[in-house]
Structures are given as structure tokens and as C-alpha cells.
Structure 1
Amino acid sequence: MSDIIKLLPDAVANQIAAGEVIQRPASAVKELLENAIDAGSDTISLVIKDAGKALIQVNDNGFGMSETDARLSFERHATSKIKCAADLFNINTKGFRGEALASIAAIAQVELKTKVEGNDLGTQIIIEGSKVKEQEVCNCSKGTSFSIKNLFFNVPARRNFLKSNSVETRHIIDEFQRVALVHSDIAFSMYNNGNEVFNLKKGSFRQRIVGIFGDKYNQKLVPVTETMDIVSIEGFVGKPEFAKKTRGEQYFFVNNRFIKNHYLNHAVQNAFDQLLSQDQFPSYYLKLTIDPSKIDINIHPTKTEIKFEDERAIYAIIRTAVKQGLGKYNISPTLDFEQESSFNVPLLKSTDTIKNPTIKVNSAYNPFETKTVAPMPKKQSVENWESLYDSFKKDTSEIIEHKKTKVEQQIISPDWDNEEEKQHTLLQLHSKYILAQLKSGSLIIDQQRAHERILFEEYIKNLALGKGNSQQLLFPETIDFTIADAELLNELKSEIKNLGFDFDKMGKSSFVVSGVPSELKEQNVKKVLEDLLEQFKLNESELKLKKHENLAISIARSASIKSGKKLSEDEMKSLIDQLFACEMPYSLPNGKPIIITLNLEDLNQQFDY
């Protein structure tokens, strides 16, 4: 049998490696930014066109490269970061494998310009599909400039899998923020299709957070610091009242490298115990400094996963540090430097005469007179009521659970004798559920989910028709978003306008809202839009939904009546009428039930009737 195993050509091997290292334009951005940081730069700029598909350019003022180093930088496993296997456990740089540039050069048209300080001329190299097309001296500034054009030009299948420009731009912004956030000692700028997106000056970590996410974040931050033998922690967590529905603004950095770690994330979440509801997630921006020999970075192509020598100890330290930070925030009194009006008393002059105090005496007062005092009302014991309720809950829980499983199988048509009975048999429970009496038993309706279903079906129709009912605001409202949220809002602009919103972009991340859907005219417009974007991102990460369906679900969720809102009988009646006019009144699009039934016969059996 002839030999069939052969070594792959370098160009093919590089394309295979590129499949792991460079998954989308944002991956190339990350690699180039990290190389610029490793080069000792203090000013870095990123320029992209068409979401990085047409152009990704990173310019830095770092050390630069000699002609030989510039050529070697595109070879596989060529690196200046490590020299032996032992160096893998003492890594203080971003890169170390020597794979990124070789992978990028295999799937794009790359131009490199670089010059070392002190040299009169620099080096220019043009590579296309791993083949060097041109190498010559050039006139350029100190540092390095990488230009990547037509990414995946020779891998059409990979290019076809890329998302829309707006989605890919959001991924690039995410990577840019992760790199720029932790390196506040470096000035960063970003331009998208000629428009400035970020212009971040050097400053403190707090200033960098505010520079990226907006001025309003300055009041949201709680400092966290802790220094121990195995790890030192510094950074900030968001105040509990600013928690969100998604994990978008959660950043762990280990030795200035962004990482993802669910276990350590739980440490922060646990520190917020009893401060947040189950569907809320805190923001945090935490930098951990650890001895490089105590961690292993070389376990994932993107280097975002790290193994710790003593993960449990780090978990405990993070949890304690965050708890202490929150504790200091909670006990700090609010200092009011405004002068109290009661202190506005004129000073007594030395020439003023002191007057004798006036004392009024009630001559009819008898200190020995006995007065009748009404007895204190006796506090009614609730122990028996509590035990009775617990017993009832235990015995009837089986009925409710049994009925919940049958919601989708059994279609119930409310059967009221007449309109008068319908109106007067509605009861709101715990400002959350509506109890409706039927001939055959009772319906229990979740008021928030019912309203979500009503709004969802209305918004789906509006999106299909391309027109929603809009109510113009008397005074247009200007709303500031984070850069990432502004990009998302811009991406969804036409669809959101079809829902009834009327707004225009003003500046990099501000929008002027002049109209809202008619049913939202009395709601907080800023909160509705922020909740809409949060819910959209949450659905995008957890559910596979079409854009229209995701948008309708998101706005229905953010604009619906919430649990805790008291409803009048007329409001409850209207809500039920609208619910049963829906095509699918019994469950939400995600399958969660809106209605459960309590059958009268089952209740009678529980009471031995």
C-alpha cells in the first residue's frame, strides 16, 4: 500500500488555524490591538469600514519592527514573547503563540508598515493569501500600522456566515471596549466609516469606564479593593439599583487580560445576595493581579479562559471584597452642606437688652386628677391563620401543579352568565394575579403576562404592516445611550419606528425622541427604550428568534403592566377582554402560561364535599 499521509502546505495549514483564531472581523481587531499593546504603545487608533469586512486598520506608536522581524512576524509560531516551554507559565504579554498574523495573512490582503525609532526609513510588506506580494522600504512614522482588507476573500463560505454590518460592528465595539477598558494608561480612538466612535484619553480606571459607557456611570460605581498574598483586586461594581437584565457590563481582567469565568462571576453575584432579584445582574469592572506562575492561559484559542491554581480561594476573596465595597456604600451617610433654615437666627449684639422669658401657666390644671385612658386594641394572633394557610397551600398545591401542565392541552372559554356577573367576579390577588369566577370553577390570570401577550400580538401586526400608531410628545426628549446600545438602536431604527416610535440620532450616542406608541404615552420613554434594548440583547443571546419576533417580545416585556400594580375592576375587565381576543391567549411566545384553572369539582373534593 502506498503512503497516503502528507504534510499540508503552509498556506492550507494557516487557513485551518485561521478558522479557530479569526472567526469574524472582531477577532482580527482583538489580535491587532493586543499586538499594539505588547509593542509598548501609548496611543492606538482603530479604523474600520463596512464592519471590518472591507478594512481593519490599527495604528500604534510602539517600538516598531526591523525589516527581518517584520518579515518573520507572518510566519507560523514566530514570536518574540516566549523562548521555551517554561515561559508559558510566566506570561506577561497579550500574545505568545505566534499564530495571529499568520492566520490573518492566510485569509486577507494585508499591508504592514513599521519603523523602529532612530531609523530614517521603515519597512512595507504586502501579503495576500499567505503569499508575499511586495516588500520594500518606505517612509512612515515610528511604530506599526496594519491594514487588513477584504477579510475572508479566499474563504467565501466563512464570509457568507458573517452577520449584517451592524451586528459585526457591535462585536468589534465589544472587543475594542474590552481592550481599551483595562488599559486606561493608553489613549485609544476608533473610527467607523469615517465617523469617530471613541476618543479616549489617558486617565484613571474610573475615568476610562466613564469615557466608554457615559458620564451617567460615574454615579453608579462602588469602589472595590483588596490585597492578599495570592491576588490583589481593584475596580468597581455597579450600585444595586442600576442592575440590568443582561450580563453585558461584566468585566473580569486577570493581569490586564479580559477573561470569562462563570465560577468567579458567581462570586460577585453571590455578594449581591438579597440586593437583587433573580432576573437582575450587577455590573462590575474588576482587575485581578496574580502571579503568572499560578495561572494557565494556554487552554483556549481566544485566551479568554484561564485555569487558576487555587480558584476557591480567589472566589472567596472576590466575594468578600465586593461585599465590603457594598457595605461601605450602604452605610455612608449622605452629607448635606446646605445650611438649615432653622440656623438663620441673627446673632445677639452686645448692646441688646436681654428680655425676661414669658411663662404661661394653666391655673385650672390639677396634677392629681385621674383621667380615663382608652384600652389598647388587642393584637389579633395570626399564628392560627398562618398554620391554616400553610395547610391549605400544601393540600391544594397538587391541584394547581396538575392544572398548570394542562394549560396548553385544554382550551378554556370563559363562561359568565352575564356582563354584570363578569364584572363583579373579578378579584386582584397580591397585585399580581386576577381571579375570575366561572360556572365550572375559577381562572387565575397573570396580569403582566396577559398584557405582554396583548402587546406582543399588536406589535407583531404593526411590524408586518410597517406602521404603528404614534403619539407625538409635547416636548421631545433627548436620551443618551452607551456606544454599543446606540449602535443597536441604530440597527433596529426602521423596525422600532414601525412600532410607533419617532426618533433621530443626534451625536455619537444620543437620540431625540419626538413620538412614542400611543399606548406608551404616559410611560417613562427612556426606561422603555433601555429595557427594550436590554431585553432584545437577552433574547438574542438565549433564544433563536427572528428580528421582528424578538423586537415584539422585547417591547411587550418592557412596556407591559408589571406585577405590583393595582388594577381597578374596569381595568381588569378590559385586560381580560383584550386577552381573550388574542390568537393565543393561554401562553407567552416562550411557552410560559398566562392562565391556570381551578376546577370547582377538584376544589369540592379537597373539602370533602
Structure 2
Amino acid sequence: MSSIIQLLPDHVANQIAAGEVVQRPASVVKELIENAVDAGATEIKLIVKDAGKTLIQVIDNGKGMTVADARLCFERHATSKIRHAEDLFSLHTKGFRGEALASIAAIAHVELKTKQDQEELGTHIVIEGSKFVSQEVAVLPKGTSFSVKNLFFNIPARRNFLKSDTVEFRHVIDEFERVALAHANIHFVLFHNGSEMFNLPASNFRQRIVNVFGGKTNEKLVPVKESTEIVEIQGFVGKPEFAKKSRGEQFFFVNDRFIKSPYLHHAVMAAYEGLLKDGCQPSYFLYLDLPPHTIDINIHPTKTEIKFDDEQALYAILRSSIKHSLGQFNVVPALDFERDATLDTPYEYANKEAETPLIQVDANFNPFLDEDPKPAKTFASSFSGNMTSGTRSAGSNPSFSAGGYKKETSGQNWESLYVGLKQATEEVELGEIQLESEEVTGSLFDEHTIEEASNNRTYQIHKKYIVSPIKSGMLIVDQKRAHQRILYEQFLANITVNQASSQQLLFPLELHFTKTELAIIAELKPSLEGTGFVFEAFRDDSLVISGLPVNVTESEVSVLLEGLIGDLQGELPENSFSQCDRIAKSMARSLSVKTGAYLTEHEQETMVNALFACKEPNISPFLKPTFITMRVEDIDKRFAI
């Protein structure tokens, strides 16, 4: 009887291994850049075409490889990082399995150029689908250059599963940023389709973060530093007021390796307890240095998950160090009942003695004496020092003149001041008085497009539900979901017809985003313009908006775009209809009336009428019911108990 179990050929085994190592072009970028870092390079250049589907090239100035090493590096489980099993618990490099280059060579056209510094000539190797095509001696600069062309050329089904160039390039940027942030002492450059996307010179951690995410990031960062026997923590966290809805700018690095850890993320969120709005996520860039023997990296094929020996202690240290940093830099308000800052002595008065204020008293003043008709010397007269001759009555009104005081009026003529006042008062009619009225603006619905509501009154319950009587009983509408349905159909119609009205801004609005976020907005620009947005310019780290949809205010633009980016952060829809649908849903969710908002009776009736004018009034854009009905019979049954 023949054997059933057989050994797989090497090219088949490499293709199977490629399914774990190479999921998309970003996976190739990660492996090649990490190899360049392990080679001791001080400058790494990444060149990408068509989001990596056509070309991925990594050029470094590392130590290079010999002819034997260049040929052997494409064999399975060939590595220079470990020698014994014990080395797995003392890793100081990125890669160690020896499967990456063999897997990449099995599904692409690979070209390797490498040369060591002490050698005069280098090695040029070409491999296509695990088959060596050529190996030559060439004149090359010091370092290594890997070119991966036509990814998945021999696996068409796998290539068809790749997303659009925008989505794939965003994943490439993610991997590039993770390695660049972990190694601020290395100069990184990224080119895509001939355009320079990133040029990150060697710097410190803070400057590297600012170079990657834009200059406005610097004012958002709060430094964190803690050193213990278990772990050394350094890095930065974002101020609470700059928290976003999305989870984009969150990075953990353990021994210069990017990792994902929900457990450590929970520790960060616990440090921000009471400082963030609901649904907001803080940004953080935290570098953890632990002894290699206390962590296990070899638990996931992509090496982005790590097992810690003492997770509870690490959780507590991370949480307390972030809390301490937020409090130390006055981000967290502190209560001190023993000190009042308003009572502090200014620096210029610290060594001065207090001066006694001078008090001047008129010794001749007596409030109980009757007015004397005879002239008397007053405080004012003594101050002037120059009085006119003659007498002055008690009711006279003195005024200053060139020579002193002059008597203008007499006490007997005071009635002349009120002559004609009574007659003028009687002639004024109150009906003719026009008072300035307070104009009420900012109505939730357009007054000109609303028909007269029915005689049935509506009522708002707990600022959440709208109750309206109907013939069969009672209608209860969820105001948030109903408004989402109304806005969703409005935005979807505006994008489809492309006839949305726009309000021009007197001063253009400039918003700052990362390059990844700007790429998403640029991809969605035609659909956003259909809703009423007018984009004036796209810059390296910002965009300028000169027009907004009619029902969008300037204060809502940043929140709206951040919510849209957060919704599309995972995957960007490829066809135009899906993009329009996602945009309409995201804008409807951001601009809809929230639970707890007070609505006037007119707005309640208008919302109910607009809801039932929609094509699908029964459900919200997110497939939740917008209203329920209660019949009179059901209410009668409740009272029949």
C-alpha cells in the first residue's frame, strides 16, 4: 500500500508560508525595512509604485552580504539572528525566523544587489517564483537593495483580493511609520509613484513624531518618563482636549518593536479616566524597554503581539506614570484647599514693606448742622486758593472760571429747569414706541420648506422621544434616529444629483491632518463636494476649506471630518456608490440631533412630517427602528388588570 503522507516541494511550501508572512504589499515593506534596520543602516529609502503591486524597493547603507550569504538568505529557515533555541528568549533584532525572503521570492520577481564595505565588487541576484534566474558580479555601493516586482504574479486569485491602490498604500504608510517612529536615529525616505511622501532626517523621538504627523502635533504632546526594575518607560501622550474619535495615533514600542496590546491600551485609558469625552481616544507614543528574557515575541506570525511575564505590574506602572505626567504638566486639575494663587505676592513686591495709606479728614464737616446762608469757606475753596469776592448762597451752583469760582444760577430759579417737561411727557404715546426685538436664528429646520403642521400636538419626553397622537393610538419617535434618516436621504440625494447648495466662508478654514488622513479626504473629495464642501487647497499637513454645506457650521467641520476618517480608517469603499453611502451615513451621524437636545413644538412636528416623507421611514441608516406605535387597545389592556 502506497504512503499517503508526502513531503511538499520547496516552492509549494514557500507559497504556503507566504500566505502567513505576505498578506499584502505592506507585509513586504515591513520585512524588508526591518532587515535593513537589523543590517545597521543609517539611511533607508523606500520606493513604491502602484501601492506596491508593481514595485517595492528598499535601499539601505547597511553592512551588506557576502556572495554566500546573498544566495543563502532566500532558503527557508536561513537566518543570521539566532543559533540556538535559547536565543529566542534573548532577541535584539527584528526578524529571526528566516521565512520572509523565501516567502517573498516564491510569489514575486525579486532582484537583490548587495556589497560589503571591504569588498570591491558586489553581488546581483535575480529570482522569479523561487527559481534562480541569474547571479552576477556587479559594481555597487555599500549596502543592500531589494526590489520586489509584480507581487502575487503566480497567484492571480490572491492578487484579486488586494484592495484599491489608496487602501493598500495606506497600509504601506502604516508600516513605514511604525518602523520610522521606533528608530528616530535612522534617516527614512519614502517615494510613491515618483513623488516624495516622507523625508525624515535622524532626530530625537519628539522631533520624529512631529515630522511624521505634522508641526501642530508638538503642542499636543505631554512627555512621560519612568524607570523601574521591571520596565523603563519614555515617550509622549496627547493632551485630553486633542483627543479624537478615531484610534489612529496610538503606538506601543517594546524594545524598539511595534506591538498591539489591548491590555496596555486599557491601562492608558484608565489613566485618562474622567478627562475624555465619551467615545474619544487619546494619542500616545510610548517606548517600553524590558529585559528580553521577560517577554515572548514568538507567539504571532507578524510578531506584533507579545507575552509579558508580569502584566499586572506593567499595567500599574504604565497607568501611574501617565497619570503623574498629566498632573505634573497641569493637564489634570488639582485641588489644594491650603493655597490660593490669587494671594501670592508678586516678585517685584517680595522684599518691599507695606506703605500706610494717607487719610485726609475735613475737621469742619458736620452732617447734623443746618445749611448756613452766610458764605463759608469750603474744602473746594481751600483747594483752589482763589475765591471771587462777594457772598455765595447755599443753593448756588459754582463753576470754575479763569479767576476762580463764578455764580451761574440762583437757588430760586430751580423750577425753570422743569418747564415744559410735563407737557412733553403727556404728548408721548406708548403705542408709537418701537422696541428692538430679539431675532431668533439657528432653527433646526428650514422655515420656508415646512408646511403647516396638523392640529395634533406633539410632546417631547426626556429630551429623547417625540410622542404624537394618531387615530389608532400613539406614535413614539426616537428623535436621534429619525433625524439621522432625514439627513441621510438628503445627503445621499445631494451627492447623487450633485446640486447641493454651499455657504461661502468669509475667512477660509484651515484644518490640520496627517498625510494618511489627507489621502482619505482627497479620495473622497468629489463626493464631499457633492454635499456642499468647497476645498480651496490641499497642503502637506493641512487643507483649506472655503465653503460648507448649508446645515454645517464651522465648529462642526473638524468633528465631522474626523468622524468620517474614523469610519473609513479600516477600509475605504472602492466603488463610488459605497463611498457616497458611507459619507452620507457618517455625516448624518455627526450632524443629527443628539439625545438630550430640546426641540420646540414646531421642530417636533416638522421632524415627524419629514420622517414620514422619507423613502424608508421605518429604520435609521444603521438599521435601527425610528419609531414605534401603541394602539388604544394595548393601553386598555394595561388598565384592565
1:485 to 517, 520, 527: 517
User: 2:529: which partner in 1?
Assistant: 497
Q: CA deviation at 1:466?
A: 4.8
Q: CA deviation at 1:538?
A: 6.5
Q: CA deviation at 1:259?
A: 0.9
Q: CA deviation at 1:521?
A: 5.5
Alpha-carbon distance between aligned partners in 2 of 1:355 and 1:270, rounded to the nearest angstrom: 55
Q: CA deviation at 1:154?
A: 0.9
Q: CA deviation at 1:598?
A: 6.3
User: 1:548: which partner in 2?
Assistant: 580
What secondary structure, in the 3-state scheme, does the structure 1 residue paired with 2:45 have? strand
Q: CA deviation at 1:289?
A: 1.0
Where structure 1 has 5 or more consecutive residues not aligned to the other structure, the ranges are 334-342, 346-353, 366-417
User: 1:529: which partner in 2?
Assistant: 561
Alpha-carbon distance between aligned partners in 2 of 1:152 and 1:257, rounded to the nearest angstrom: 27
> What is the aligned residue count?
541
Alpha-carbon distance between aligned partners in 1 of 2:118 and 2:307, rounded to the nearest angstrom: 42
Distance change >3 Å, CA 234–CA 522, structure 1 → 2: closer
User: 2:140: which partner in 1?
Assistant: 140
2:331 aligned with 1:330, yes or no? yes
Q: TM-score, normalised by structure 2?
A: 0.77
2:214 aligned with 1:234, yes or no? no
2:429 aligned with 1:427, yes or no? no
Q: CA deviation at 1:286?
A: 1.2
Distance change >3 Å, CA 206–CA 593, structure 1 → 2: farther
What secondary structure, in the 3-state scheme, does the structure 2 residue paired with 1:321 have? helix
Alpha-carbon distance between aligned partners in 2 of 1:425 and 1:258, rounded to the nearest angstrom: 56
2:50 aligned with 1:50, yes or no? yes
Q: CA deviation at 1:331?
A: 4.8
Q: Is the 2:26–2:171 contact (alpha carbons within 8 Å) kept by the matching residues of 1?
A: yes
Amino acid at match of 1:501: F
User: 1:198: which partner in 2?
Assistant: 198
Alpha-carbon distance between aligned partners in 1 of 2:176 and 2:231, rounded to the nearest angstrom: 26
Alpha-carbon distance between aligned partners in 2 of 1:140 and 1:306, rounded to the nearest angstrom: 39
Single out whichever of 125-134 and 453-462 deviates more from structure 2. Answer: 453-462
Single out whichever of 511-520 and 31-40 deviates more from structure 2. Answer: 511-520
Identity value in percent: 54
Q: Is the 2:74–2:105 contact (alpha carbons within 8 Å) kept by the matching residues of 1?
A: yes
Where structure 2 has 5 or more consecutive residues not aligned to the other structure, the ranges are 335-345, 349-355, 369-451
Single out whichever of 317-326 and 193-202 deviates more from structure 2. Answer: 317-326
Alpha-carbon distance between aligned partners in 1 of 2:570 and 2:161, rounded to the nearest angstrom: 22
User: 2:20: which partner in 1?
Assistant: 20
In the TM superposition, what are the counterparts of 1:53-452 in structure 2 within 5 Å?
A: 53-328=53-328, 329-331=330-332, 356-358=358-360, 419=453, 421-422=455-456, 424-427=457-460, 429-430=462-463, 432-436=464-468, 443-452=475-484
Q: TM-score, normalised by structure 1?
A: 0.81
Q: CA deviation at 1:603?
A: 6.7
Q: CA deviation at 1:102?
A: 0.8
Amino acid at match of 1:103: S
Q: CA deviation at 1:540?
A: 6.6
User: 1:473: which partner in 2?
Assistant: 505
Q: CA deviation at 1:74?
A: 1.1
2:488 aligned with 1:456, yes or no? yes
Distance change >3 Å, CA 572–CA 216, structure 1 → 2: farther
Q: Is the 1:80–1:96 contact (alpha carbons within 8 Å) kept by the matching residues of 2?
A: yes
Amino acid at match of 1:357: I
Single out whichever of 459-468 and 173-182 deviates more from structure 2. Answer: 459-468
Q: CA deviation at 1:165?
A: 0.4
Q: Is the 1:501–1:513 contact (alpha carbons within 8 Å) kept by the matching residues of 2?
A: yes
Q: CA deviation at 1:257?
A: 0.8
Single out whichever of 201-210 and 467-476 deviates more from structure 2. Answer: 467-476
Q: CA deviation at 1:110?
A: 1.0
What secondary structure, in the 3-state scheme, does the structure 1 residue paired with 2:589 have? helix
Single out whichever of 34-43 and 236-245 deviates more from structure 2. Answer: 236-245
Distance change >3 Å, CA 434–CA 321, structure 1 → 2: farther
1:258-305 deviation line (CA, Å, top 9, x unaligned): 111222211212222222344222222111111111111111110011
What secondary structure, in the 3-state scheme, does the structure 2 residue paired with 1:135 have? strand
Q: Is the 1:533–1:554 contact (alpha carbons within 8 Å) kept by the matching residues of 2?
A: no
Single out whichever of 155-164 and 220-229 deviates more from structure 2. Answer: 220-229
Alpha-carbon distance between aligned partners in 1 of 2:487 and 2:570, rounded to the nearest angstrom: 19
User: 2:611: which partner in 1?
Assistant: 579
Alpha-carbon distance between aligned partners in 2 of 1:488 and 1:128, rounded to the nearest angstrom: 34
Distance change >3 Å, CA 438–CA 232, structure 1 → 2: farther
Single out whichever of 470-479 and 239-248 deviates more from structure 2. Answer: 470-479
User: 2:545: which partner in 1?
Assistant: 513
Distance change >3 Å, CA 360–CA 79, structure 1 → 2: farther
Q: CA deviation at 1:444?
A: 4.5
What secondary structure, in the 3-state scheme, does the structure 1 residue paired with 2:163 have? coil
1:41-89 deviation line (CA, Å, top 9, x unaligned): 1211111010000111111111111121111111111111000111001
In the TM superposition, what are the counterparts of 1:26-37 in structure 2 within 5 Å?
A: 26-37=26-37
Computing the radius of gyration from Cα coordinates, the structure with the larger value is: 2
Q: CA deviation at 1:439?
A: 6.2
Amino acid at match of 1:59: I
Single out whichever of 212-221 and 563-572 deviates more from structure 2. Answer: 563-572
1:289-325 deviation line (CA, Å, top 9, x unaligned): 1111111111111001111112222122222222222
Single out whichever of 246-255 and 73-82 deviates more from structure 2. Answer: 246-255
Amino acid at match of 1:81: K
